[in-house]
């Protein structure tokens, strides 16, 4: 028996002990113990029987399976049985109480009918309580299962997005290195070595829900340095990141797509360009901005597929719902990205 079941059992036991003891305590010192037994303890046993028969068997088997008519008929039969049994017990063991019972001969009979009506209502009460408790318990269980299913779905989707990002990143990086092979074989070799370090981080250190921001910063710096190898002197790249450990934990690989996008659309082979990357921390809030020139992608350029930015927006919605601000602005031929995340 687990802890919750023990608590449930003890709480039920306590309630019934109090209910059984209350009439005796209220009549302490009086001599009508037979009346207490007949009018309180025996009905209480029947009430408990009605309650637990419905709680453990009938509600699940009939009411929750849409067999409402059978459920009502069975309970009416049970109530009628307990009413007859109670009368039989009083007639057999408590004759003095039975003689005081209202009959149809008293004032034409209505008091006896009213007496039976009240008795039936008293048996309906535990029935309704059992239905209410069982329904509430079922709702709580259903809600817990729904949340568990939702959480599992979100985790699966996040895992899919994570796995989706890795080959996308690898594909784009290989494209960049490929462009260096003929121009500068030595730089291409360095790039491959740097890429292997980046992939090691992505494969082995980003499987956690959260990673230290300092590790993400180190990863981004290495990636920027890798990307700088393939751009010409006409492109100026500057970046500023917090130094040291900010004490912030964050979902991995959130910012890399924005940096990829800046190098993909902010670099020209013939024109001067400037990419400025800035990150700042304010308490538990991370502010990340990128500014770069805008050189629209040519229709015959098949490098990448735009999956990185779509991936980022989906992950932000799943991980930081109502806790992030993501904006992109095109102004004066400059593309600006603003991403603010509350990590706490």
The per-residue pLDDT for range 118-162, each reduced to its tens digit, is 777 888 888 888 898 899 889 988 898 888 877 777 676 766 666
Q: Rounded to whole angstroms, what are the CA distances from 120 to 93, 114, 155, 305? A: 22, 10, 53, 73
- Same structural domain for residues 175 and 232? yes
Q: What percent of the chain stands above pLDDT 90?
A: 28
- Same structural domain for residues 222 and 326? yes
Domain boundary among 110, 129, 147: 147
- Same structural domain for residues 324 and 180? yes
- Same structural domain for residues 103 and 7? yes
- Same structural domain for residues 65 and 24? yes
Rounded Cα gap, residues 124 and 46, in angstroms: 11
pLDDT band at 109 (very low <50, low <70, confident <90, very high): very low
pLDDT at 258 over 80: yes
- Same structural domain for residues 305 and 186? yes
Domain containing 286: what range? Answer: 154-342
- Same structural domain for residues 232 and 326? yes
- Same structural domain for residues 17 and 90? yes
- Same structural domain for residues 164 and 293? yes
Between these two residues, 195 and 218, which has the higher pLDDT value? Answer: 218
- Same structural domain for residues 177 and 121? no
Stated pTM of the model: 0.57
Burial letters for 9-40: b for 16+ Cβ neighbours within 10 Å, e otherwise? eeeeeeeeeeeeeebeeeeeeeeeeebebbbb
CA quadruple 289, 291, 296, 297: dihedral positive or negative?
A: negative
- Same structural domain for residues 225 and 336? yes
- Same structural domain for residues 143 and 158? no
Read off φ and ψ for residue 298, nearest 5 degrees.
-70, 150
Rounded Cα gap, residues 259 and 266, in angstroms: 10
Please state the domain count of the chain.
Answer: 2
């Amino acid at each position: 028996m687990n802890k919750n079941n023990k608590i449930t059992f003890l709480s039920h036991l306590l309630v019934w002990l109090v209910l059984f003891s209350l009439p005796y305590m209220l009549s302490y010192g009086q001599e009508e113990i037979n009346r207490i037994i007949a009018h309180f303890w025996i009905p209480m046993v029947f009430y408990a029987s009605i309650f637990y028969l419905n709680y453990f068997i009938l509600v699940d088997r009939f009411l929750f399976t849409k067999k409402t008519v059978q459920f009502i008929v069975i309970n009416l039969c049970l109530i009628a049985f307990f009413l007859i049994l109670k009368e039989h017990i009083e007639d057999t063991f408590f004759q003095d109480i039975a003689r005081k019972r209202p009959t149809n001969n008293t004032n034409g009979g209505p008091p006896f009918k009213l007496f039976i009506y009240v008795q039936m209502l008293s048996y309906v009460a535990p029935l309704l309580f059992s239905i209410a408790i069982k329904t509430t318990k079922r709702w709580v269980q259903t809600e817990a299962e729904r949340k568990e299913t939702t959480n599992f779905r979100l985790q699966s989707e996040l895992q899919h997005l994570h796995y989706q990002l890795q080959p996308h990143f690898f594909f784009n990086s290989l494209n960049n290195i490929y462009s260096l092979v003929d121009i500068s074989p030595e730089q291409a070799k360095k790039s491959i070595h740097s890429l292997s370090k980046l992939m090691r981080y992505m494969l082995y250190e980003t499987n956690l829900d959260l990673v230290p921001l300092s590790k993400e910063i180190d990863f981004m710096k290495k990636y920027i340095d890798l990307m700088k190898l393939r751009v010409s002197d006409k492109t100026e790249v500057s970046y500023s990141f917090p130094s040291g450990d900010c004490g912030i934990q964050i979902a991995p690989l959130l910012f890399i797509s924005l940096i990829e996008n800046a190098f993909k659309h902010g670099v020209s082979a013939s024109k001067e360009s400037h990419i400025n990357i800035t990150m700042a921390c304010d308490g538990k809030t991370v502010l990340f901005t990128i500014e770069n020139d805008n050189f629209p992608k040519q229709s015959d350029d098949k490098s990448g597929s735009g999956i990185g930015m779509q991936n980022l927006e989906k992950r932000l919605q799943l991980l930081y719902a109502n806790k992030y601000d993501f904006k992109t602005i095109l102004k004066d031929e400059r593309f600006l990205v603003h991403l603010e995340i509350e990590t706490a």
